[in-house]
Amino acid sequence: MAASDVSFGITLFAGALIDSVDTTAKIDKKELRGSDGNIARVHPYNPTTNFSVKGHGAMSLVPGIATPGITSISGGLSLIEEVKRGEKNDDFNGWEFSGINYPNALQV
């Protein structure tokens, strides 16, 4: 395979002190079984993307509706569900936030 099929480093989030960015795209489904017991129809709905970012330095997000800053997530509504800040006596201070993007939702 060509060397262009692999990348190294963080490209999904702008920032110099980012440890990791994780995204998980999901979809719900409704299955309908036929008379023979086999799945005969499937309806996918409610696409969402869970995300988390870990890093160091300044970070001003708080739980609530916000733009997560992940390049692969756009549109809809993003909800920051959890923000963690951590300190250790032998490491740099860090932070982490996680949430979910609802691409078809609007804020009420």
Give how far the C-alpha of residue 96 lies from the chain's centroid of Cα atoms, to the nearest Å. Answer: 12
Q: pTM of the entire structure?
A: 0.85
Residue 48 lies in a domain: yes
Question: Running DSSP on this structure, what letter comes out for residue 37?
Answer: S
How many domains does the chain divide into?
Answer: 1
Residue 19 lies in a domain: yes
- pLDDT at position 2: 59
Residue 46 lies in a domain: yes
Residue 67 lies in a domain: yes
The stretch 30-54 carries a mean pLDDT of: 97
Range of the domain at 24: 7-102
Amino acid identity of residue 2, one-letter, is: A
> From edge to edge, which strands make up the β-sheet containing 91-102?
18-33, 39-56, 91-102, 77-88, 64-65
Provide CB contacts within 8 A for 98, sequence distance 6+: 50, 51, 52, 53, 80, 81, 82
